[in-house]
Structure 1
């Protein structure tokens, strides 16, 4: 049984989609896996409740027609981008349903509905989901989908970097603070950790929660025949996230795994936090679990 067999990647036309596709192809080739790209096409009928009072039936119908045209135009653009990706890379394109051909393969599917629901449901039956970096222009839906998959899929989520990487998973940092979230991320990252050239466990004494400490993580990894060292890092100007990313850069990592939102999401979005800092500032591939 393969470690990674099915990789989900939602595409909604955001500028960072190319980097996400490139990240997905790296992992599809690494694990001989299938990359299933999906685009969720919004239902034009959802516009009607937003139209408000005082509009005639004809006006609401025109708004729905305009929304439908825009939705179709976007879907066509996303499909064209996927086809360009497949042509450029030469990846084998097949149907979205298993069984898949040997080696790396890819497929594209358009689904009707609400993006955060449809992607989350598909993610529950995927080994991982790769989401384009959430600062993609003014596309709020990219971040909404990321959080929906993080909180509701029960599967690891990979946030692709802004720029297409040439490799990922060679040098990996494990961000550890003893929480269940960091344990879930560690478990989700095992397929990559087992293949990595170097692994480092990073922890900040000031951010450690009640639970196992960093040295115990290296003992756990040794049980999986994964050698790793453990290094503490300090916050920078009181910012744990900044200290973490600095330590990641010093290690020369091309991938990091970490738990997401060990504090509430609302608190982190309002006040800031390690998860938010990494989502906004990381320039490498990041695996998160909640």
Structure 2
């Protein structure tokens, strides 16, 4: 398995260009076709009708976004040529939570950005990153809104708990792991889920990964009862110097609300390196 069709979500946020640069590097690394899907937050027109002056403000914003979109589209095609990567540009005015997943379901990997609380243009729709991960059926590489990642995938850390979601994420990330200098499989309080005298936690999946030609080691970390597993994973990333996290995403829909698991929610909020998530 490899990534031969990659989709990157683009918008008018400050981090759109760095996200494009990362996507180009990944596409070049895997000799993949890169599709840029440009989609923005689409407000409900009726929501502006009762507030004085909002029609003019909205028109000005649309003009500004149109200018940024034209610049980004030109940049996209120029960077494709420079990187010698095949690709195409798709712009849509549909609601992003509908349009982007539909386009990306036919890809091997989706690259998107973390919500940036300091940049209103990064808001694409309610729970946009979470909806991508939960609705795609494909791995999503989520890029933090701060930092640069020139060595993406040099040292991959995989969070392993034996679940279906973690299994999906590990296998979805195998192309990165095969090329990485090192992959570390990390379990949390692993012995609690192992039979007495059983194998080292994480060793079985590490063996599977190694059979794909990856250089793998295993680590188990202890977390006190009630402590944040998400925070423990972020600390471990720093401790071992990993530049990419692989993990399963946990969540479900409850009435009209999307409820994410604690570790998933913590990572999506506070990620420090790109995170490949699968559900």
Query: Do they fold alike, i.e. is TM over 0.5?
Result: yes
Gap runs ≥5 in structure 2: none
Tell me if the contact between 2:160 and 2:202 (Cα under 8 Å) persists in the aligned partners. Answer: yes
CA-based RMSD of the aligned residues comes to 3.3
Please tell me whether residue 71 in structure 1 is matched to residue 62 in structure 2: yes
Whole-Å separation in 1 of the counterparts to 2:189 and 2:16: 37
Whole-Å separation in 1 of the counterparts to 2:45 and 2:40: 13
Tell me if the contact between 1:120 and 1:153 (Cα under 8 Å) persists in the aligned partners. Answer: yes
Partner residue, 1:113: 94
1:144 to 127, 138, 154: 127
For these two proteins, the number of residue pairs brought into alignment is 269
Tell me if the contact between 2:180 and 2:215 (Cα under 8 Å) persists in the aligned partners. Answer: no
Partner residue, 2:14: 15
Question: TM-score scaled by structure 1?
Answer: 0.79
Partner residue, 1:154: 137
Cα distance 1:29–1:256, how it changes in 2: closer, same or farther (>3 A)?
A: same
Tell me if the contact between 1:179 and 1:262 (Cα under 8 Å) persists in the aligned partners. Answer: no
Whole-Å separation in 2 of the counterparts to 1:128 and 1:235: 32
Tell me how far 1:36 sits from its aligned partner.
Answer: 1.4
Whole-Å separation in 1 of the counterparts to 2:251 and 2:274: 20
Q: Deviations over 1:47-71 (max 9, x none)?
A: 13x357x89xxx99x94x8646633
Whole-Å separation in 2 of the counterparts to 1:11 and 1:263: 26
Cα distance 1:121–1:68, how it changes in 2: closer, same or farther (>3 A)?
A: farther
Please tell me whether residue 47 in structure 1 is matched to residue 45 in structure 2: yes
Partner residue, 1:104: 85
Tell me how far 1:143 sits from its aligned partner.
Answer: 6.6
Please tell me whether residue 133 in structure 1 is matched to residue 122 in structure 2: no
Cα distance 1:81–1:106, how it changes in 2: closer, same or farther (>3 A)?
A: same
Partner residue, 1:278: 267
Cα distance 1:145–1:72, how it changes in 2: closer, same or farther (>3 A)?
A: farther
The within-5 A match list for 1:78-89 is 78-84=69-75, 87=78
Please tell me whether residue 199 in structure 1 is matched to residue 199 in structure 2: no
Partner residue, 2:212: 224
Tell me if the contact between 1:177 and 1:208 (Cα under 8 Å) persists in the aligned partners. Answer: no
Whole-Å separation in 1 of the counterparts to 2:238 and 2:42: 43
Tell me how far 1:72 sits from its aligned partner.
Answer: 4.7
Gap runs ≥5 in structure 1: 94-101
